[in-house]
Structure 1
Amino acid sequence: MELQQMRYVLAVAETNSFTRAAERCLVVQSALSHQIARLERELGARLFDRTSRRVRLTPAGEAFLPAARQCLDAAERAAAEVAAAVGEVRGRLAVGVIPTVAAVDIPAALGDYRDRYPHVRVALRVGGSEQLTEQVKEGALDVGFLGLPATARPQGVRSRELARDRLVAVLPPGHPLAAEPEVSLRTLAAETFVDFPANTAGRMQSDQAFAAAGLHREVAFEVTHADLLTRLVHQGLGVALLPRAYTPNLTGVTTVPVTDAPARVEHLIWSPATITPAAQAFLDLLPA
């Protein structure tokens, strides 16, 4: 069993296509298919069901994939550790961020990192705090930037608090409350809301604040991206609550302070079990 065979299996699983997998791996399709067939003979099981229309993993393939990923990650970490031992940072850095990260200028940080460590392959993913935490635990991400209610802390990972902030009301242009110097949750409770999906960290900080005040509100639109949330507010479809530090990025809407606004804390997380030289170098670049 060879690492290259595992890379081919992973590429096919991710693209659902032998043709696209071969293009990704920079080999001809016949060579990729031959190596996967060799691996299947060695394992005594088919890893993929192939038809003229689709390719999908068999139960054996599903069982093989996690271990193959671990083997490839271990091989990459081994190479990176050797490079670090001779003073060179190589390998991969996978960063996860929430859509409303504000404590760190992510593009600037990644640009600085790439200038210092040009031999590291950098990947960036955007997701919810819960999803990013699980991916850091599993080793799919090296570091993550989260936003959590002030009452919560990251679980199962190492963390560093980056900033504390309060939410502000985000209103459409011309809204009756847009000219107010500040508003309360009780006033906002009469409005229709645009918010993040239920049970996510981005939603819970607002839900907890309204519940603590004994208030009910209607959330008519649930979205996963702050950009779409802002566009819906701009169209007058509802109002929203977003972190104050994030609001300089907004256009076409008005923001108003909230007297009893919920707090949001941004955290940087990583897993000490899977930290690599590339990830450690990135952590060292960030503010303490």
Structure 2
Amino acid sequence: MDVSIPTLRYFCALADHLHFGAAAESLNISSPSLSQQISRLERLVGERLFDRTSREVALTDAGRALLPQARRVVDAHDELTAWIAARHGRTSPALRIGLVAAGAGPLTTAAIMSAVQQIPDLRLEMRKVGFFDAEAELTADRVDAVFAPAPLPLDERSVQATPLWSEPRVLIVSAAHPLAGRDAVTIGELGDETFIAVSGGDPDALAWWLVDPRPDGTHPAVGALAQDMDGILELVAAGVGVNIAASSAATHYRRPNIAFIPIVDIEPATVLLCTRRRVSPTVAAFVEIVLTESQKPVAGA
């Protein structure tokens, strides 16, 4: 079985966007071409990787199982390509972008498109970053910029965190949950829920996301733990517990077996662009591009 790196990259992009048009745009290919590549990969795997309807695209169980493996292969290929380029002294500007969960949502795509247009011969590398790993990835020089939701444990002496926008927070529940059909909820209605939390996270940040303590002084019950958003969603879909996320998750992680419900009475989440204090001209140019794009209306934001 011959699975190419571009095909895996296409699969990861569609898994991220769950929309053929948006994924194709991020890859700079046509939607029919993307559809053909996904169909080819499904034939090679022998299973459907996405459920497609006229209204939505969702990962199947096979697709969710393949996704972390595909990401590892693509990341390893990109690291090898960067290493070879460095060994041969290639001087094209490089930009390594990290994404925590949904990153900056549609702003990520808009900023990358503008960067490719405005920075000649730009070489891009995308990485997934753990919920609380932005500072570690930056200081270890594994990424140049990270899109992440606040609050984050950051050393402001070495890391610059620039707020981009704020967005409401939502409750994530399984499709079978009694609240799944609601248009909105209040935090006071969630006293009997068990929450899924991020393992090994910063206590203050975790408390903020879980709204702990609650306005009435009570504390939420925490059950299962997960290392990343994919793990959280699997636990939510199985009915193990619920979670609170930024509203962009509803677009980025849309699945038929979970529901996203606005929480109307808690503080919104702020999306940050994090960089080192001392940056290259390429990174500085990217920061300016992001700030410019963040002032524009972005489809899906």
| Structure 2 Cα separation of the partners of residues 212 and 120 of structure 1 | 47
DSSP 3-state at the match of 1:287: helix
Quote the offset at 1:163 in angstroms. Answer: 0.9
User: Structure 2, unaligned stretches of length 5 or more?
Assistant: 1-78, 293-301
Q: Which of 251, 258, 261 is matched with 2:255 structurally?
A: 251
For 1:204, the equivalent position in structure 2 comes to 207
Is contact 1:206-1:262 (8 Å) kept? no
Q: Which of 275, 278, 297 is matched with 1:270 structurally?
A: 275
Quote the offset at 1:269 in angstroms. Answer: 1.9
Task: State the percentage of identical aligned residues.
Answer: 19
Q: Which of 77, 89, 97 is matched with 2:99 structurally?
A: 97
Quote the offset at 1:268 in angstroms. Answer: 0.9
The alignment covers a number of residue pairs equal to 208
User: Structure 1, unaligned stretches of length 5 or more?
Assistant: 1-20, 27-71, 81-89
- Calculate the aligned-residue CA RMSD, in Å: 3.4
Q: Which of 125, 128, 151 is matched with 2:127 structurally?
A: 125
For 2:226, the equivalent position in structure 1 comes to 223
Kindly report which structure 2 residues correspond to 1:1-288, keeping only aligned pairs within 5 A, or say none: 90-117=92-119, 119-128=121-130, 130-149=132-151, 155-156=156-157, 157-200=159-202, 203-207=206-210, 209-213=211-215, 214-249=217-252, 250-252=254-256, 253-273=258-278, 275-288=279-292
Letter in 2 for 1:176: P
Is contact 1:167-1:261 (8 Å) kept? yes
For 2:63, the equivalent position in structure 1 comes to none
Is contact 2:174-2:237 (8 Å) kept? yes
Is contact 1:191-1:217 (8 Å) kept? yes
DSSP 3-state at the match of 2:133: helix
Is contact 2:95-2:124 (8 Å) kept? yes
DSSP 3-state at the match of 2:168: strand
Letter in 2 for 1:106: T
| Structure 1 Cα separation of the partners of residues 126 and 93 of structure 2 | 15
Is contact 1:172-1:233 (8 Å) kept? yes
| Structure 2 Cα separation of the partners of residues 279 and 24 of structure 1 | 17
| Cα offsets for 1:106-146 (capped at 9, x unmatched) | 24433443344453332222223542123324433211212
Letter in 1 for 2:156: Q
Quote the offset at 1:243 in angstroms. Answer: 0.7
Superposition TM-score, scaled by structure 2 size: 0.58
Higher Cα Rg: structure 1 or 2?
1
**Which ranges of 4 or more aligned residues in structure 1 deviate by more than 6 Å?**
21-26, 151-154
Is contact 1:148-1:205 (8 Å) kept? no
| Structure 1 Cα separation of the partners of residues 154 and 81 of structure 2 | 42
| Cα offsets for 1:177-235 (capped at 9, x unmatched) | 2233432323213112223225347633224x231432222222222322332232222
| Structure 2 Cα separation of the partners of residues 227 and 165 of structure 1 | 21
Superposition TM-score, scaled by structure 1 size: 0.60
| Structure 1 Cα separation of the partners of residues 80 and 247 of structure 2 | 46
Letter in 1 for 2:284: Q
DSSP 3-state at the match of 1:140: coil
Quote the offset at 1:101 in angstroms. Answer: 1.9
Quote the offset at 1:241 in angstroms. Answer: 0.9
DSSP 3-state at the match of 1:210: coil
DSSP 3-state at the match of 1:182: coil
| Structure 2 Cα separation of the partners of residues 23 and 178 of structure 1 | 45
